[in-house]
A and B are shown apart, each in its own frame.
Chain A
Amino acid sequence: MSNMGAKTLLSHSLRIAWKDLMELFRNRLGLVLLIVMPLFMMVMVGFIYPSNGGGLSDMPVALVNEDAGFGNSVLPSQVFLMGLQQINDQTHMLVLSNASSMADVKDMVQRGELQGGIIIPSNFSSSIMNGEQGTLIIVTDQSNPQISATIQAALSAVFNEMGTMLAQQNVQMLSPTINATNSLAVVKPYNVQTEGVVLGTPSYFDFIAPGIMAMTVMMSVMTGLPVAISQEKEIGTMDGMMVAPINRLSIILGKTLGQTARGLIQGVIILALAVGLFGVTIQGSILLVFGLLLLGVFAFVGLGIVITSFTKDQETAQMLMMTLMFPMMFLSGVFFPIQQMPWYMQSISQVLPLTYASQALRKVMVLGAGIPAISTELIVLIVFGVVMIAIAVPVFRRAMTR
């Protein structure tokens, strides 16, 4: 009997879900928005935030070489210029051009043609050859503080390289038996090498794609559900379902299935966009990714039903959706790592289930984690989902026959 009951409950739910999806697919504009929304989200957050390496590149910078030279030996200014060229070829931070004087450079910076300049003064080589410090002058666009930092970083890398090369030469001169590798070890005994868990450098898209997926899918049940139900209440079609001799739970279950399908469709679109357009790679199992999305839905269903029970009309539902969505978006580490937030904000994010969902999804997608590595997140999501559903079912039953 209870088996029969469960079967009819499910069959009614599927009918309702089918009906919802039919309506969705007949709504052309709605379908377009379904695709455009995640695309916008990816494009906006993906391109606004600087990716790794500071983000700035191809800044127009002028070189002014006023060096008067020193005898006819190889000039330090030439060594510097070669080094700079070499490093820039690798990083493409700067676009180098030549200018005749510092005044010229300042002029061009003001007109916005340049973002900075490097001036080698006339006494540069002679100072170094005489055992004094060589000084370089950097002209920067003060309206953009990041530029001066970037130019300085480029320069210090060049000097570092030059210094090492010089020291290596000196060591080899002192003891000719030493080879190049060993001489390097004498000069720079310590070296740091960063080694990620997976190959390659993850981009910012790799970071946000799992979060946005988790958020979209979960929002569809948490806020899409109240909107979908209050809409039917408002236009009156809910009565048509309510007068049918069906279990009230099949209405909410059907709606949930419909919204879940909708959320998953969006999730897949985001994933496809992320992989196809933004070069995101999935390190872990794609099945686990979908499993996690479904678990996220489960975790949020109860909350969605509770909100549904308390919202009377669509307007309230929509407003509530905005109110909940923004803090969730920013506090759950979807866009920034939560470790960057102050501690009190971090403790809020610790109680938001979206934090765990996006964290787990990120571990799987970026780090290729398996189930054992995300067991904490799984447990939190399951417990949260079960507790919320236990609260939601009686609340919903009471709310439906007011």
Chain B
Amino acid sequence: MENESIIEVQNLTKTFGKFTAVDNISFTVKKGEVFGLLGPNGAGKSTTLRMLSTLARPTKGTATIGGYDIVKHDTEVRKLIGIVSEKMIMYNRLTAKENLWFFGSLFNIPKDVLTKRVDELLELVQLTKWKNAQVGTFSTGMRQRMNVVRALLNMPRVLFLDEPTLGLDPQSSVEIREFIKKLNRENGTTVVITTHMMVDADLLCDRIAIVDQGKIVALDTSANLKKIISGADTKILNLNIANLTSELIETIRKLHCTDSVTQENSTTLKILVHGDEAFDSVIDAIRKKNGKISSMENLQPTLEDVFLHITGHQVRDSADQKIQNEKHGPFAQQQRRIR
């Protein structure tokens, strides 16, 4: 019972012309799990979610939700799922109540049940006071809460959330995270959430799939993913060097034991190193160049580090890469010029 799977994905692929957005991915999600898809912009997270929620047709591969094929039995699948998409699914000129009413009425829910449920959901996200106000007048946080409860109208067994905390202030982000957790704990709703924010993934997800360039490059619990780093005998050093120079950075980068170097600010470096003598080599190298180490810390690995370790680049790097690779889209040209 515990390990019963509710979503099974096999070799799912989506191409747009020659571009492969989702590349042959397979995974299963267990019932009652919070499953995260973590990856940089353009990794293919949204596309995966859209395919699973029947909004996009897979180019290849299959997936089932609750035993129903997402292509052949799409109507059955739709009854089981709710989706909070990247874009706000709300009509600005309708009130909060009207919006929920409209979307709810598409689910064949009896009128009295729906009326009650709309009120309950509005209460749940503290919007009862504004139920007769047009959604267009809402703040971003209020709108996002509306967007989330909209997906709950049919009491879905699987809830898909595409970057639900994007653009929210820390306070609202916490609220949304708490809400999702509560939903999962109390109703047993299975949650699949995409994010490029490590905190989201770390705090919410039972298991995380790290996605990069359309592929799943790692899939495990947060703790196990972090063990990839310790298991690989990799350490993370946070170095504070008062007289940091680019020459010094270059020296460290060239060391045998160095995996990667990231400059955090004008005096701070984050270094991934491996091997027993790693610490000594780094310190020696800095001393030789007359670098003044004001502090040194051995950090616990974060998911960011895991990503860096596995893919060899940072989440932010590939976000930039996406812009370069993108030959389509109205802003492609503009972005390139700005850079």
A197 CA to B89 CA, complexed, in Å = 57
Q: Which A residues between 215 and 244 are near B, CB-CB below 8 angstroms?
A: 235-237, 239-244
Q: Among the listed B55, B90, B107, which residue makes an inter-chain contact with A245, where contact means beta carbons less than 8 Å apart?
A: B107
- Interchain CB contact under 8 A, A19 and B85: no
Residues of chain A lying within 8 A (CB to CB) of residue B83: 239, 243
- Interchain CB contact under 8 A, B98 and A236: no
A23 CA to B89 CA, complexed, in Å = 15
**Interface residue? B106 (CB, 8 A):** yes
Q: Which B residues between 164 and 180 are near A, CB-CB below 8 angstroms?
A: none
Contacts known (A236-B88, A243-B53); A23 close to B106, Cβ less than 8 A: no
- Chain B, residues 73-94, CB within 8 Å of chain A (1/0): the string is 0111011011101111111011
Q: Shortest distance in angstroms between A234's beta carbon and chain B's nearest beta carbon?
A: 9
Chain A, interface residues (CB within 8 Å), range:
20 to 34
Q: Among the listed A12, A19, A243, A246, which residue makes an inter-chain contact with B94, where contact means beta carbons less than 8 Å apart?
A: A19
- Interchain CB contact under 8 A, A23 and B91: yes
**Interface residue? B238 (CB, 8 A):** no
Contacts known (A22-B94, A243-B53, A402-B56); A236 close to B107, Cβ less than 8 A: no
Q: Shortest distance in angstroms between A257's beta carbon and chain B's nearest beta carbon?
A: 15
A8 CA to B106 CA, complexed, in Å = 9
A22 CA to B95 CA, complexed, in Å = 10
- Interchain CB contact under 8 A, B79 and A22: no
**Interface residue? B260 (CB, 8 A):** no
- Interchain CB contact under 8 A, A243 and B78: yes
Residues of chain A lying within 8 A (CB to CB) of residue B89: 236-237, 239-240
- Chain B, residues 131-157, CB within 8 Å of chain A (1/0): the string is 000100000000000000010000000
Which applies to chain B's interface (DSSP): helix, strand, loop or mixed?
loop
- Chain B, residues 94-134, CB within 8 Å of chain A (1/0): the string is 10001000110111100000000000000000000000001
Q: Among the listed A8, A23, A235, A401, which residue makes an inter-chain contact with B57, where contact means beta carbons less than 8 Å apart?
A: A401
- Interchain CB contact under 8 A, B102 and A15: yes
Q: Among the listed B74, B87, B94, B106, which residue makes an inter-chain contact with A235, where contact means beta carbons less than 8 Å apart?
A: B87
- Interchain CB contact under 8 A, B85 and A236: yes
- Chain A, residues 1-27, CB within 8 Å of chain B (1/0): the string is 000000010001001000100110011
Give the total of B residues in contact with A, Cβ under 8 Å.
31
- Interchain CB contact under 8 A, B102 and A19: yes
Residues of chain A lying within 8 A (CB to CB) of residue B5: none
A12 CA to B94 CA, complexed, in Å = 18
Q: Among the listed B86, B94, B105, which residue makes an inter-chain contact with A236, where contact means beta carbons less than 8 Å apart?
A: B86
A280 CA to B57 CA, complexed, in Å = 54
- Interchain CB contact under 8 A, A244 and B106: yes
A19 CA to B89 CA, complexed, in Å = 14
Which of chain A's residues has its CB closest to B102's CB? A19
- Interchain CB contact under 8 A, B150 and A245: no
**Interface residue? B54 (CB, 8 A):** yes
A402 CA to B47 CA, complexed, in Å = 12
Q: Shortest distance in angstroms between A5's beta carbon and chain B's nearest beta carbon?
A: 12
Q: Shortest distance in angstroms between A17's beta carbon and chain B's nearest beta carbon?
A: 11
Contacts known (A245-B78, A245-B79, A401-B57); A22 close to B106, Cβ less than 8 A: no
Q: Among the listed A12, A237, A239, which residue makes an inter-chain contact with B106, where contact means beta carbons less than 8 Å apart?
A: A12
Residues of chain A lying within 8 A (CB to CB) of residue B54: 242-243, 401
A244 CA to B100 CA, complexed, in Å = 13
A22 CA to B98 CA, complexed, in Å = 10
Q: Among the listed A27, A241, A244, A401, which residue makes an inter-chain contact with B56, where contact means beta carbons less than 8 Å apart?
A: A401
Q: Shortest distance in angstroms between B284's beta carbon and chain A's nearest beta carbon?
A: 56
Residues of chain B lying within 8 A (CB to CB) of residue A12: 105-106
Q: Shortest distance in angstroms between B109's beta carbon and chain A's nearest beta carbon?
A: 11
Contacts known (A27-B93, A244-B103); A239 close to B56, Cβ less than 8 A: no
A230 CA to B89 CA, complexed, in Å = 14
Which of chain B's residues has its CB closest to A11's CB? B105
Q: Which A residues between 374 and 402 are near B, CB-CB below 8 angstroms?
A: 401-402
Residues of chain A lying within 8 A (CB to CB) of residue B55: 239, 242-243, 401
Q: Shortest distance in angstroms between A246's beta carbon and chain B's nearest beta carbon?
A: 5
Q: Among the listed B81, B86, B108, which residue makes an inter-chain contact with A243, where contact means beta carbons less than 8 Å apart?
A: B81
Residues of chain B lying within 8 A (CB to CB) of residue A22: 93-94, 98
Residues of chain A lying within 8 A (CB to CB) of residue B53: 243
- Rank and list the top 6 A-B pairs by shortest CB-CB distance, nearest first: A236-B87, A244-B106, A240-B89, A26-B93, A245-B78, A23-B93
Q: A19-B94, A246-B106 are in contact. List 6 more A-B contacts (CB 8 A).
A: A26-B93, A237-B90, A243-B78, A244-B78, A245-B75, A245-B76
In the complex, 17 of the A-B residue pairs with CB atoms within 8 angstroms, ordered by the A residue number, are A8-B108, A15-B102, A19-B91, A19-B98, A23-B93, A23-B94, A26-B94, A26-B134, A239-B87, A240-B150, A241-B103, A242-B54, A244-B103, A244-B106, A245-B75, A245-B78, A402-B56
